[in-house]
Amino acid sequence: MSRTPSQLVDQKEPGELMAPTPGLLGGVRSPSKHDSGPKHVTGEAVYIDDILEPFGTLHLAPGAATIAHGKIVKMDLSKVRSAPGVVCVLTADDVPGVNDVSPAHTHDDPVLPDGIVQFYGQPVFCVAAETREQARNAAKLAHIEYEELPAVLSTEEALEKQQFVAPPHVMAQGDAVSALARAKHRRSSKMEIGGQDHFYLEGQITFAIPQEDGDVLLHCSTQHPSEVQHNIANVLGRPANAVTVEVRRMGGGFGGKETQASQWAALSAIVAVKTGRPAKMRLDRDDDMVMTGKRHDFIVEYDVGFDDDGRICGLDIQYATNCGFSADLSAAICDRAMFHTDNAYYLGDVEIRSYRCKTNLVSNTAFRGFGGPQGMVAIERIIDEIALTLGRDPLDVRIANYYGINDRNTTPYHMTVEDNVLAELTDEIVTSSDYRKRRADIAAFNADSPVIKRGLSITPVKFGISFTTSFLNQAGALIHIYQDGSVHLNHGGTEMGQGLFIKVAQVVAEEFQIDLDRIKITATNTGKVPNTSATAASSGADMNGMAARDAAITIKNRLIAFAAEKYGVAEAAIRFVPGRVMIGDVADVEFADLVKQAYLARVSLSATGYYATPKIHYDRETASGRPFYYFAYGIACSEVMIDTLTGENKVTRVDICHDVGRSLNPAIDRGQIEGGFIQGMGWLTSEELWWNDAGQLRTHAPSTYKIPACSDRPEDFRINIWNPGRNVEKSIHRSKAVGEPPLMLAISVHRAIADAIASIGDGKVIPMLDTPATPEAVLYAVAGVAKGMIARHHDTIVAAGE
């Protein structure tokens, strides 16, 4: 079936909301403020470390390994145990159940290592003391002797030794080898992509409170309460029903609290159960950065063939990924990098290989984008190389490679792209950013400016929405209406700042047609909604919004049936309008009144809701299927300046046009776009992870690891939520997920820096710019282009001499 792009965005179903419902405070599409906003600004919002501690609370601190790989031959903790305030010291022997918190059941993530240390800084023991200061002081007193084993500290070495945490994986379409052989032009190169620390402002923390029967309640800063629950039950050797996990809010997550919360939760749970005292483990920032996983760093090697128009006609690409010492979520993350090798482009004949390398470094984990960003960075550099090789504008090469609507629309994993809005987004950004004219202006500026160079780039984003592990695409919710008509809302999603709670509450407000302030948003709790998936993959609002809506509809239908019977009207004649329920032309009652009447008539006012994403399926054996329900799209135009003497760089202007479908909350969505972009910009510019030769991370605090600061936000930053946006799939109110996709808009910054560097070589030498584009990386790329120019000049002279 063929559809034109405008049909894709303009269709409207009966009853579909284009704007907020008049008279309703805080329904969908309204820019409702973050529910915790007033509490954030007064300091009244309670984070886990703010919970009033019961008498007797113990505080935990980890003791860290000081080698990257080796056997523990002696661990003398006597001084630790006898230090002031110390109540108990845990080692691997103290784990009552299974000593493992691996998220994908790979059994390679010990709570505390049993004999073998696998990375520098790995916690090898844990101290519980009366105060946190005492615990931290005591942890310094251990005497540990190791027998060092060879440590693999680089991805290259792991690849060479074929040391993997998961088997290599291949994805292919057509025949890349012969396509490359046939290609008129061909380029091959290598790119290094750096990792990224999450730098959530609230570090990892769990507060464990012992319950009767040896059960435990965990206040845990985690995106995945169910996983923490199941892991901790295993660690304690207890059934899952012995452990309850509650999360009211996190001080940021970004993927770093998906699997990485379990270890600290496990340690505090063990102490709580063992001592019968509440136990809190809050990592110091430096320990947090050393001991928890980060965004994966990649080495990408590629060989691309293309025609005179810059159209890719064959691609062979290989990812070698530093997964660290254990598998964690690396397999799925590496898969997602493969899924996003195409970004917005039809690759035709392609082979994608992925190696999941095992190193003696901290185990890398989920981070906003989940591998997608790394895949996209590589293809965007490839596109720029093609453009420079052919002397064409990079934007034109991008457009030439975009997925088609009716043809050239199958991905390397054999899914048809059905919701492509790239052409419209591109038209809009080219106009709104005045791209063509600014390119000319910049060329003129650069011609006259020997030291400072400017660069400009437009890059698109197409990001697949759904967990690629299909069974994870399910969610649950629980709604109660009390006799006064006030609503208690609960669901499996967690609030890490992204505005999930307010969005879901808006969905419920819309369904019941009641003002938002009638709905109490409550902490995520495994005792209320069980077996949830992580709040991850941008899926929070999509899935929990649907589940909550399902619960609301269940109750609403009961109210309708009750009212229809009581007032003797047809069910179809009953309408919920703001604050009231119209019962045909017989009655018009306040929502709260109807609720009270229903209660008195013994109608259940509590319901669970459930949602499973439709349409998706994926066969990993053949690397084909439809892993994504739909795609989220966006496009950005970034302008930068670089200093060619120092490599310093600065983003001066950014224009964004992003598709959020029909926004559930444009204010929240805008915040996600802007924040995601800046976070991506940090990843690609100033955020650099640096290990010394011993495998010790030396950038383990904000003094050495530089996330964007206020002045790094571009002076001129124009964010446009794409107005015609609409999800062609039946997502919650036709909105689109927005958590991760905007991060990748920042790739335009990296490409703009490369563009500025290329100007030194008059666009004839390709800058080999890796990520992050620190001053050092930029200066080397500048030097590379300058050398290339000398070489070209030399070639010309030689050619002339012949």
Partner 1 sequence: MTIPVADLRNDIRFLFGNEEHSLRDIDPQMTVLNWLRLSARKTGTKEGCGEGDCGACTVVLGEPDGKGSMRYRTVNACIQFMPTLDGKQLLTVEHLKSDGGNLHPVQQAMVDTHGSQCGFCTPGFVMSLYQLWLDGGEDDRGAINDALAGNLCRCTGYGPIIEAARKAGGISAKDPVEQKRRVDISARLNAMVDDAPMLALETPVGRYFAPRSSDALADLLVAHPDATVLAGGTDVGLWVTKMLKRLDPIIYIGDVADLKSVREQGGVLTIGAGVTYSDAHDALGLIAADVGELVRRIGSRQIRNAGTVGGNIANGSPIGDTPPALIALGARIVLRMGNVRREVALEDFFVTYGKQDRARGEFVQSVIVPKPTAGTQFKAYKISKRFDQDITAVLAAFSIRVEDGKVTEFRAAFGGMAGTPMRAKQCEAAVIGQDWDEASLTLAQQALSRDFAPMSDMRASKEYRMLVAQNLLTKLYIETTVPEIATRLVGREAAYV
User: What CA–CA distance (Å, rounded) separates 526 from 493?
Assistant: 11
**Residue from 225, 302, 217 nearest 258 by CA:** 225
Is the sign of the CA dihedral 477, 256, 281, 123 positive or negative?
positive
Residue of 254, 435, 562, 722 that binds partner 1 (CB under 8 A): 254
Residue of 207, 367, 631, 677 that binds partner 1 (CB under 8 A): 677
Half-sphere exposure of 369 (CA within 13 A, CB side): 33
Residue of 641, 756, 766, 785 that binds partner 1 (CB under 8 A): 641
Residue of 3, 353, 653, 706 that binds partner 1 (CB under 8 A): 706
- Is residue 199 within 8 Å of 206, Cβ to Cβ? no
Near partner 1 by CB under 8 A, which window of 10-18, 42-50, 185-193, 476-484? 42-50
Tell which positions 50-109 bind partner 1, by CB under 8 A: 50, 52
**Candidates 428, 674, 740, 776; catalytic one:** 740
Tell which positions 774-793 bind partner 1, by CB under 8 A: 774-776, 779-780, 783
Three-state SS at 749? helix
Does 517 contact partner 1 by CB under 8 A?
no
User: What CA–CA distance (Å, rounded) separates 191 from 770?
Assistant: 6
User: What CA–CA distance (Å, rounded) separates 661 from 12?
Assistant: 12
- Is residue 299 within 8 Å of 320, Cβ to Cβ? yes
Does 201 contact partner 1 by CB under 8 A?
yes
Three-state SS at 433? helix
CB atoms closer than 10 angstroms to residue 162: 10
Tell which positions 555-594 bind partner 1, by CB under 8 A: none
Does 456 contact partner 1 by CB under 8 A?
no
Q: How far is the CB of 86 from partner 1 (least distance, A)?
A: 15
Draw the binding track, 484-503, toward partner 1 (x: CB under 8 A; -: no contact). ------------xxxx----
User: What CA–CA distance (Å, rounded) separates 441 from 759?
Assistant: 13
Q: How far is the CB of 45 from partner 1 (least distance, A)?
A: 5
Three-state SS at 371? coil
Amino acid at 145: E
Q: In this complex, which beta carbon is closest to partner 1, that of residue 389 or of residue 432?
A: 432
Q: In this complex, which beta carbon is closest to partner 1, that of residue 156 or of residue 712?
A: 712
Q: How far is the CB of 697 from partner 1 (least distance, A)?
A: 9
Near partner 1 by CB under 8 A, which window of 244-252, 297-305, 478-486, 751-759? 244-252
Near partner 1 by CB under 8 A, which window of 142-150, 342-350, 455-463, 686-694? 686-694
Residue 385 known to be catalytic: no
Q: How far is the CB of 58 from partner 1 (least distance, A)?
A: 14
At a CB cut-off of 8 Å and minimum separation 6, what does 11 contact?
A: 726, 728
Draw the binding track, 710-729, toward partner 1 (x: CB under 8 A; -: no contact). xxxx-x-x------------
Is the sign of the CA dihedral 631, 632, 635, 636 positive or negative?
negative
Phi, psi at residue 336, to the nearest 5°?
A: -70, -30
Q: In this complex, which beta carbon is closest to partner 1, that of residue 476 or of residue 708?
A: 708
Q: What angle do CA 189, 193, 194 make, to 5 degrees?
A: 155
Q: In this complex, which beta carbon is closest to partner 1, that of residue 601 or of residue 694?
A: 694
Q: How far is the CB of 61 from partner 1 (least distance, A)?
A: 10
- Is residue 101 within 8 Å of 258, Cβ to Cβ? no
Dump strand ranges (E) for 591-709.
606-612, 617-619, 624-626, 630-643, 649-658
Amino acid at 424: E
- Is residue 584 within 8 Å of 567, Cβ to Cβ? yes
Q: In this complex, which beta carbon is closest to partner 1, that of residue 436 or of residue 787?
A: 787
Phi, psi at residue 543, to the nearest 5°?
A: -85, -45
At a CB cut-off of 8 Å and minimum separation 6, what does 14 contact?
A: none
Tell which positions 649-668 bind partner 1, by CB under 8 A: 649-650, 667-668
- Is residue 700 within 8 Å of 289, Cβ to Cβ? yes
Does 536 contact partner 1 by CB under 8 A?
no
Near partner 1 by CB under 8 A, which window of 120-128, 197-205, 236-244, 535-543? 197-205
Does 45 contact partner 1 by CB under 8 A?
yes
Q: In this complex, which beta carbon is closest to partner 1, that of residue 368 or of residue 491?
A: 368
CB atoms closer than 10 angstroms to residue 436: 12
Tell which positions 275-334 bind partner 1, by CB under 8 A: 284-286
Tell which positions 2-41 bind partner 1, by CB under 8 A: 31, 33-34, 36-41
Instruction: Give one word for 15, left, alpha or beta, with left for phi > 0 and alpha for psi -120 to 50.
Output: left
Near partner 1 by CB under 8 A, which window of 194-202, 273-281, 347-355, 757-765? 194-202
Near partner 1 by CB under 8 A, which window of 71-79, 446-454, 551-559, 724-732? 446-454
Q: In this complex, which beta carbon is closest to partner 1, that of residue 50 or of residue 571?
A: 50
Phi, psi at residue 335, to the nearest 5°?
A: -60, -45
Near partner 1 by CB under 8 A, which window of 326-334, 387-395, 415-423, 636-644? 636-644
Q: How far is the CB of 84 from partner 1 (least distance, A)?
A: 11
Does 202 contact partner 1 by CB under 8 A?
yes
Amino acid at 223: Q
Draw the binding track, 140-159, toward partner 1 (x: CB under 8 A; -: no contact). x-------------------
Q: How far is the CB of 182 from partner 1 (least distance, A)?
A: 42
**Which residues, in sequence order, are bridge partners of residue 655?**
637, 718
> Measuring CA to CA, how many Å separate 561 from each of 32, 409, 485, 567, 598?
32, 47, 17, 10, 10
Q: In this complex, which beta carbon is closest to partner 1, that of residue 61 or of residue 172?
A: 61
Residue of 99, 137, 173, 292 that binds partner 1 (CB under 8 A): 137
- Is residue 740 within 8 Å of 370, Cβ to Cβ? yes
Residue of 214, 699, 763, 764 that binds partner 1 (CB under 8 A): 699
Near partner 1 by CB under 8 A, which window of 1-9, 303-311, 615-623, 683-691? 683-691
- Is residue 526 within 8 Å of 245, Cβ to Cβ? yes
User: What CA–CA distance (Å, rounded) separates 378 from 383?
Assistant: 9
Residue count, binding to partner 1 (CB under 8 A): 89
What are the catalytic residues? 740
